[in-house]
Amino acid sequence: MALRIGAIAYTHYESDPRVRREAEALAARGDDVTVWVLQKEGTAAEELIRGVKVRRISIPRYRGGQALAYVGSYLRFLAEVGPRISRAHLQQAFDVIHVHTMPDFMVFAATLPRLFGAKVVLDMHDLMPDLFALKFEGQGRGPVGRVLGRIGLDPGRTLVGGLRLAQDAATTFADAVIAVHVNQYELLLRDGVPARKLAVVMNAADSALFPPREKEPPITNDGPIRVVYHGTILHRYGVDLAVRAFAKARETEPRLQLDLYGGGDFVPELERLVADLGLGPDVLRMTGKHVPLDEIAAKIREAHLGLVPNRDDHEDSVLPTKLLEYLAVGIPSIASRTRCVGRFFDERQVELVEVGEVDQMAEALVRLSRDGKRRQALIKGGRAWDQEYGFEAQKKLLFRVFDGLVEEKVAAERKARQAAVEGVKTGTKKEDRPAEA
């Protein structure tokens, strides 16, 4: 049974791997998928991409350090997307509305479709209260923050408390909630989401975009050793640690070069760090903006090493997608041993260093640059992991969530029809009632 699915995501479709991967997987199996996203400059308002109907909304995506400005931008998107998906549902009903976080409260854009029979899936990319606590707690900048401060309220804590209430409301409203890994699943259970609503679909690399390469690019005596980081440039992702480690490693191994693909709040600070360290464009290239996934997938294939330098967060609920993409392609990688990464990987798949340890990361860069056998062992281990937990396995779990919801809907409709038939048999219709004496 082909489904009609509407998806909502406050993101740019071209560069968001999870939104693209799931929408295109559903479309590839024959479902009718329409996704509403932010419009990036230079993209069309409507486009068909790998079977997915992409509808773009022209409002700027907020990037910065003001928590309330983030929320304001989210609300503006909600005000735009809610009426659009409602009109589309009234024209031709959706079976499922698939809402990607952040923010959690975007799920309420599906209110009218849900009232008219659609099921709602809430896909939790990040836990918004925990993430905003890490990013904004204690923040008092801006006029609203100053007003709250005068009456004895911490703006960051007040916002985080409100976001916890919003998460509770959103998960209650949704028919199913998808976590990105078991750590997040357990945190959602902790927060009161019932297990019957929860499922796990991990951020495995899309095998169509990130197929395994046939062989590792060679490292020669006089050629560059290319190191890659791709994804959002944020402080909590430790990109500054990667740059410092790279600069230190080059003192021993000058063949190293670093490519940084991505944009984000931390780009200006990172650019200053790169300048302070004297890393010119001949050794460190930085886009400073997001790159479409298709381009990223092509560019990273020639890398010799991948870097995943995340810092720990409050709950450590981040399993970096870039690491899974490096494993799928066959790029030996160095990653911080966060609690989440350490739960899923060991030294058979990834060269692990302690969180925040720049010297260890630098040493690992030099060691892997020179040890071909170790690189091959990591590639082999990574591919074995990907074969067991990769995209093909996760795709089946995704389909199970959607099909299970629709089966419930079909069963309920069948039960209602059966009740109507039984009603006729027992004389509930006027003409079937016994004649009055």
Pick from 230, 239, 225, 227: nearest CA to 297: 230
Task: Provide the mean pLDDT of the chain.
Answer: 87
Q: How confident is the model at residue 268 (pLDDT cuts 50, 70, 90)?
A: very high
Per-residue pLDDT, 421: 73
Candidate from 80-94, 99-113, 120-134, 269-283 with smallest mean pLDDT: 120-134
Report pLDDT digits (tens) over 106-118: 999 999 999 999 9
Contact 55, 35 (CB under 8 A): yes
Would the pLDDT of 434 be above 60? no
Report pLDDT digits (tens) over 127-147: 877 776 665 544 444 444 444
For the chain, list the domains and their CATH numbers: 4-204+391-417 (3.40.50.2000), 225-389 (3.40.50.2000)
Would the pLDDT of 331 be above 50? yes
Q: How confident is the model at residue 63 (pLDDT cuts 50, 70, 90)?
A: low
End-to-end CA distance of the chain: 52
Would the pLDDT of 1 be above 70? yes
Per-residue pLDDT, 420: 74
Candidate from 43-47, 136-140, 372-376 with smallest mean pLDDT: 136-140
- In the chain, the percentage of residues whose pLDDT exceeds 70 is 86
Q: What whole-number distance in Å separates Cα of residue 151 and Cα of residue 414?
A: 57
272 half-sphere exposure, CB direction, 13 A CA radius: 3
Pick from 2, 428, 22, 391: nearest CA to 212: 391
Q: Are strands 333-336 and 351-353 parallel, antiparallel or unpaired?
A: parallel
Q: Which residue has the higher pLDDT, 421 or 82?
A: 82
Report pLDDT digits (tens) over 198-244: 999 998 998 888 999 988 999 999 899 999 999 999 998 999 999 99
Q: What whole-number distance in Å separates Cα of residue 12 and Cα of residue 50?
A: 16
Q: What whole-number distance in Å separates Cα of residue 273 and Cα of residue 261?
A: 16
Structure tokens at 25: 């997987």
Per-residue pLDDT, 407: 87
Per-residue pLDDT, 147: 45
